[in-house]
């Protein structure tokens, strides 16, 4: 299946959106199609223009849909604010970067529990309670939803660039009850 995308540049950056699903047993990456920008110009007097750049990369087929086991943890393991002891590593692998590729930021989006934008709230299909999912950068620092990561350096024509992240559970209340713990997120790649 060909997964190439149309890319639109704006203000020197290119944005490509992908989707991911975090679950109690796994992190599942799913791609969503990039939709071209459209506008109904029938009643307006404006001109839209864009510059297409060769600075984006493809997301590796092997990391578009992957399962990452976050482990099985006893509910009594968690006190409020505690997390699963071993964050689980996962990668978003970029490949076939363009000739002008120099950097990329990753921004994760999703529903956060009240008062903490660094966590993903469990979705409606989850039966566990008082637990959420944290996404960590390569240094194991929590990433805030809706905020870009620092720029990951890219090399022009890079064949493979792994962007390293971690996922882990965090208790947000007591008691943590057992069951499925699923969270949904999307991420956007913004190329420099």
CB 95 within 8 A of CB 39: no
Give the pLDDT score at 72: 81
Largest CA distance in the chain: 62
For 15-29, letters b (16+ CB in 10 Å) and e give bbbbbbbbbbebbbb
| Short-list 64, 48, 65, CA closest to 189 | 64
72-76, 86-90, 147-151, 163-167: least confident range: 72-76
Would you say residue 10 has pLDDT above 50?
no
Digit-coded pLDDT (tens) for 21-41: 554 333 333 333 344 444 444
How many residues would you count in the chain? 192
Enter the CATH code of domain 12-34+52-191.
Answer: 2.60.40.1090
Question: In the predicted model, is pLDDT for residue 86 greater than 90?
Answer: no
Tell whether the model's pLDDT for residue 177 goes beyond 70: yes
pTM: 0.71
Per-residue pLDDT for 171 more than 50? yes
**Better-predicted residue by pLDDT, 15 or 132:** 132
When pLDDT is cut at 50, 70 and 90, the band that residue 137 belongs to is very high
Question: Residue with structure tokens 């506008």?
Answer: 39
Q: Give mean pLDDT, residues 126-132.
A: 91
Q: What is the mean pLDDT of residues 107-127?
A: 92
For the stretch 67-85, pLDDT in tens is 666 778 888 887 777 777 7
Looking at the predicted structure, is the pLDDT value of residue 105 above 80? yes
The band of 66, judged by pLDDT with boundaries at 50, 70 and 90, is low
- Domains of the chain, by residue range, sit at 12-34+52-191
Higher-confidence position of 45 and 119: 119
């Amino acid at each position: 299946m060909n997964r190439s995308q149309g890319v639109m540049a704006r203000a020197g950056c290119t944005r490509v959106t992908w989707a991911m699903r975090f679950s109690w047993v796994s992190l599942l990456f799913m791609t969503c199609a990039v939709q071209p920008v459209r506008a109904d110009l029938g009643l307006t007097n404006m001109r839209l223009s864009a510059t297409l750049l060769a600075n984006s990369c493809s997301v590796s087929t092997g990391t578009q849909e992957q399962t990452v086991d976050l482990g099985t943890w006893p509910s009594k393991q968690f006190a409020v604010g505690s997390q699963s002891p071993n964050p689980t590593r996962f990668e978003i692998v970029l490949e076939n970067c363009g000739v002008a590729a120099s950097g990329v930021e990753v921004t994760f989006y999703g529903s956060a529990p009240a008062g903490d934008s660094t966590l993903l709230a469990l979705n409606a299909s989850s039966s566990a309670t008082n637990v959420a999912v944290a996404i960590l950068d390569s240094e194991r620092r929590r990433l805030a939803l809706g905020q870009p990561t620092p720029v990951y350096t890219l090399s022009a024509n890079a064949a493979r660039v792994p962007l390293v992240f971690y996922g882990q559970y965090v208790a947000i209340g007591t008691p943590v009850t057992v069951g499925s713990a699923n969270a949904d997120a999307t991420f956007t790649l913004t190329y420099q």
